[in-house]
Structure 1
Amino acid sequence: MLQCMTTDPEQQNGVGVQDAFQRLWTPHRMAYIQGENKPTGPEAGDGCPFCGIPEMSDQDGLIVARGRHVYAVLNLYPYNGGHLMVVPYRHVADYTDLDAGETVELAEFTKSAMVALRKASGAHGFNIGMNQGSAAGAGIAAHLHQHIVPRWGGDTNFMPVVGHTRVLPQLLADTRQMLADAWPQG
């Protein structure tokens, strides 16, 4: 909800400092900032969400597709609409620790994610990658995951650049269904 700080001191009630900026309040992001659902340690039994998601239904876990070694899931804190991750079922932190089957299926699922995102949303391009280790920015460093972020011409507007806020036009459950329907079969 977009709220403008008032210039009327009577209406401020100590809520903020008077200035010319409008603010977009996103209190739901506080869960991410405070580390909600982050593992308590490096082992699979330490509350790793990527180990728990496969035990959920596709709808509850936001799983788009399941394979033998990996699954594709929507990011709960997306950079853009349709932001997917490909995650091995096995709790492994480093890309070099994947076995041959996991490596191949992770690559194939990345390709399938691109096909589904182009079909479902007309993505113009992609940012694809993984952060290896907390020093490299991995939010959950103990369980490898590859990001597939769809991009469109002009999608970096004033909101993320100036406001450091992403505007997502669709609920995650609706995005999950759209991408699951567009996922290549076979």
Structure 2
Amino acid sequence: MERRILWAPWRGEYVGGKRERGCIFCPPEKPLPPEERPILYMDKLVMVMLNKFPYNTGHLLISPVRHIAELEDLTEDESLHLIKVTQRAIMILKELLKPHGFNVGFNLGKVAGAGYPDHLHLQVVPRWEGDVNFLSILDDVRLASQHYLRVYEMLKPHFEALKI
């Protein structure tokens, strides 16, 4: 069997263990460029950030602004607002990227896969039929990805227009 190599050089920073100082989900003290912190939307309760090391194009991280680790520690206002923002984010992704489906969920705790277990965050991963899955690797490789900064530039105006 011929060996095929899938290259994803932008993930080298993540795999190599280079991490930002502090919590990536806490609002920065001063605005940062999207290369450092690709924040698409933020209000007093919720922040939406494009994942710099995505599982798929358009992978979003949605978190409460308040630094909390546990889902049950969300206030009612934070819970409702988090879901409303997630709904709008999915609508934007559907319109612009036209995915066939989504994986949406929380990884609660390190053993559950949370890369940042100290700050609760919801992951929204757009999915396309035949995208990066096990069968695609064994058969024909169908990997269509864009650099996260290109995706950021496409999504940013739509998130700036959000009124929630």
User: Which category describes the TM-score, using the shorter chain as reference length?
Assistant: 0.7 to 0.9
Larger relative contact order (Cα-Cα within 8 Å, sequence gap ≥ 6): 2
CA distance in 2, matches of 1:97, 1:157: 34
**Structure 1 residues 156 and 30: CA distance shift in structure 2, 3 A:** closer
CA distance in 2, matches of 1:139, 1:73: 15
Shift of 1:35: 2.7
**Structure 1 residues 119 and 104: CA distance shift in structure 2, 3 A:** same
Question: Could you say what the CA RMSD is over the residues aligned between the two structures, in angstroms?
Answer: 2.7
Q: Residue 114 of structure 2 aligns to which amino acid in structure 1?
A: A
Which of 41, 65, 88 pairs up with 2:41?
Answer: 65
The higher radius of gyration belongs to 1
State the secondary structure of the residue aligned to 2:162: coil
Instruction: Give the TM-score normalised by structure 1.
Output: 0.73
State the secondary structure of the residue aligned to 1:147: strand
**Kept in 1: contact 2:62–2:82 (CA 8 A):** yes
Shift of 1:180: 2.2
**Kept in 2: contact 1:58–1:64 (CA 8 A):** no
Match of 2:14 in 1: 32
Q: How does 1:1-186 map to 2 (within 5 A)?
A: 20-37=2-19, 47-51=22-26, 53=28, 55-57=30-32, 59-60=34-35, 61-156=37-132, 161-162=137-138, 167=143, 169-183=145-159, 185-186=162-163
Q: Residue 121 of structure 2 aligns to which amino acid in structure 1?
A: H
Shift of 1:133: 0.2
Identity %: 36
Could you list the per-position Cα deviations for residues 69-123 of structure 1 after superposition, in whole angstroms to 9, with x for gaps in the alignment? 1111001110110000101111111111111221111111110110100111112
CA distance in 2, matches of 1:53, 1:75: 16
Could you list the per-position Cα deviations for residues 54-75 of structure 1 after superposition, in whole angstroms to 9, with x for gaps in the alignment? 7434634211111221111001
CA distance in 1, matches of 2:75, 2:30: 22
Aligned residues: 160
Instruction: Give the TM-score normalised by structure 2.
Output: 0.82
**Kept in 2: contact 1:37–1:49 (CA 8 A):** no
